[in-house]
Amino acid sequence: MNSVRAAALIVIGASCGVTESRADEGGVSFWLPGQYASLTAVPQTPGWSFGVIYYHTQASADADKAFQLGSQLRLGVDATGDLTVLAPTYVFANPLLGGQASAGLGVAAGYVQGNADAILTGPGGNQVSGSLRDDRWGFGDLYPNVSLRGNQGVHSTTVVLSGDIPVGAYDADRLANLGIGHAAIDGSFGYTYFNPQTGYEFSALAGATYNYENDDTQYQNGIDGHIDWGWSKFLPTQMQVGIAGYVFQQLTGDDGEGATLGDFKSQVVGIGPQIGKLYSLWGMQAYANVRGYYEFAAKNRAEGWNVYITFGLSPAGKQN
């Protein structure tokens, strides 16, 4: 079971906004809830590792809920997204400040579809009736990240700094976007308890996102708080079973000339099962994980369900 600690690859899940399905302006936030789960802070094997994340989401909100993007108010939104995130990461062999440093970059591509029952446009609030639909293929923003991990026995910690470089497909007048239209920076602290003797593991990562103003809409999202967590049991076959969840809570209200709905603070909770497997592939250590979340307790955002399928490949560590 020590191979779990020595060679587990934690895929750094890049945040991929799906318009109409997340929080803040237009229902979209930088932080993608649930991107972290089990083994968050476990030390990695030095060298290059590569992660792939497939993310599917479906979310909706009733027609009595309005979502603002620029001069538009969208009512009765519904969204579907299928995204693939590529996340190469380099883990440094030499210690930094007594810990293990790593740096990575995530990029997303895929398909999103948005629907709205009605859109109110302009300062006069002229209503466009009927169902409106938009879909788009394209690339998302760039998501750089750095982390520093520490370990003492069964306890591991990590500090993660990540951000958004807004270069993805984005248009304030469209329902479907893969970029979020503004820069963001996030700081998080994570903890993992993992006992190789029993196979039990628990991880949690908590942090906050500062959002810069969207120059196209003069809208600035508030500070977003988030907690991702996972609990699991590793079986002798290196199979992992457990549950995972998240809490997303906007800590401060939205601001800017474009924030005509007020502070628009949002929240959501998600929980669901997970299953994973560690195995050898091409002389390297491979890790695959599938987890799904059901969302509830949503406020000022759409809610639904989403699925993550992650695959990681890293240098093989020493087997004990």
Average pLDDT of the segment spanning 201-217? 94
- The number of beta carbons lying within 10 Å of the beta carbon of residue 93 is 9
- Would you place residue 193 in the very low, low, confident or very high pLDDT band (cuts 50, 70, 90)? very high
Please tell me the pTM assigned to this model.
0.84
Q: Is residue 302 part of a domain?
A: no
Phi-psi region of 14 (alpha: psi -120 to 50; beta: other; left: phi over 0): beta
Q: Are 254 and 234 in contact (CB under 8 A)?
A: no
Q: How many domains in the chain? A: 1
Q: Is residue 212 part of a domain?
A: yes
Taking residues 89-93, report their average pLDDT: 96
**Predicted pLDDT of residue 1:** 45
pLDDT surpasses 80 at 2: no
pLDDT of residue 3: 41
Residue 108 lies in a domain: yes
Residue with tokens 């030390």: 43
Mean pLDDT (whole number) for 100-127 = 75
Q: Give the structural domain span for 133.
A: 2-159+171-249+271-295
Positive or negative torsion for Cα 193, 196, 197, 199: positive
| Percent of residues, the chain, with pLDDT higher than 90 | 57
Whether 136 is covered by a domain: the verdict is yes
56: its two tokens = 């599917």
- The residues, any chain, with a CB within 8 Å of residue 127's CB and separated by 6 or more, are 118, 119, 120
Largest CA distance in the chain: 70
Mean pLDDT of 37-41: 94
Which parts of the chain fold into alpha helices (H)? Answer: 2-7
Residue 313 located in a structural domain:
no
Q: Which helix (H) or strand (E) holds 103?
A: strand 100-121
Residue recorded with tokens 């191979």: 3
**Cα separation of 295 and 304, whole Å?**
5
Q: What is the pLDDT of residues 275-310, one digit of tens each?
A: 999 999 888 899 999 999 999 998 877 789 999 999
Listed range (56-70, 82-96, 233-247) with the worst mean pLDDT: 56-70
pLDDT digits (tens, 9 = 90+) for 241-278: 999 999 999 999 888 877 666 677 888 999 999 999 99
Of the pLDDT bands very low, low, confident and very high (cuts 50, 70, 90), residue 59 is confident
Q: What is the mean pLDDT of residues 15-42?
A: 67
Number of neighbouring beta carbons within 10 Å of residue 59:
23
Q: Is 263 helix (H, G, I), strand (E, B) or coil?
A: coil
> What is residue 119's predicted lDDT score, i.e. its pLDDT?
55
Residue at 10 is within a domain: yes
**Would 8 be classed as within a structural domain?**
yes
Indicate whether 81 belongs to any domain.
yes
